[in-house]
């Protein structure tokens, strides 16, 4: 994708066409609408659809609650840096990266625990730790309770 030197879209399609002619790239490129104007794309390049979001940290660690958020998709050119709560345009890939960022808390129940002496140890573990999900390690026959917490809350603006 080719934008103006300052990184913004061309205001008109004619301005983009003029830039294509000056660079002598008419044959291999095309003009498509992009953000608030037009951009020049290679003929086989797809337009990345951007939507507006507001992203907040969901963890309650006071040390990094207000630090900037950085998300990079595929290459350094697709990096976004923004403050929590700031309105920002993100691609679907960047949103997926943020959604898949989770913190996993895992509690292994030791074999000497009384939970294993009950008729149904998994049910006993679930009642002991109701906000966690059980996972059974078949090789050691131990139960682990797992809780997955998303690191970011993503609010769609438009």
Q: Is 9 helix (H, G, I), strand (E, B) or coil?
A: coil
pLDDT at 46: 58
Please state the rounded mean pLDDT for residues 120-135.
94
Span 40-95, pLDDT tens digits: 877 665 556 778 999 988 876 677 777 888 898 877 777 889 998 899 989 888 89
Q: Are 41 and 1 in contact (CB under 8 A)?
A: yes
Strands 87-91 and 102-108: unpaired
Locate the DSSP E strands across 23-118: 29-34, 37-42, 50-57, 69-72, 79-82, 87-91, 102-108
Distance CA 48, CA 11 (A): 19
Measured in degrees and rounded to the nearest 5, phi and psi for residue 49 equal: -80, 125
State the pTM of this model: 0.58
Of 149 and 46, the one with more pLDDT: 149
pLDDT of 139 higher than 70: yes
Band of the pLDDT at 21, cuts 50, 70, 90?
confident
- Structure-block tokens of residue 64: 């990094």
Share of the chain above pLDDT 90, in %: 35
């Amino acid at each position: 994708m080719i934008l103006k030197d300052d990184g913004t879209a061309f205001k008109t399609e004619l301005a983009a066409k003029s830039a294509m002619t000056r660079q002598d790239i008419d044959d291999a490129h095309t003009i498509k609408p992009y953000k608030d104007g037009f951009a020049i794309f290679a003929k086989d390049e797809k337009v990345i659809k951007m939507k507006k979001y507001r992203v907040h940290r969901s963890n309650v660690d006071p040390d990094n609650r207000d630090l900037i958020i950085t998300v990079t998709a595929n290459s350094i050119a697709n990096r976004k840096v923004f403050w929590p709560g700031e309105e920002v345009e993100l691609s679907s890939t960047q949103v997926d990266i943020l959604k898949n960022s989770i913190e996993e808390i895992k509690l292994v129940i030791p074999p000497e625990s009384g939970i294993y002496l009950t008729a149904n140890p998994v049910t006993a573990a679930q009642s002991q730790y109701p906000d966690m999900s059980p996972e059974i390690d078949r090789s050691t026959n131990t139960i682990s309770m797992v809780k997955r917490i998303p690191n970011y809350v993503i609010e769609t603006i438009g």
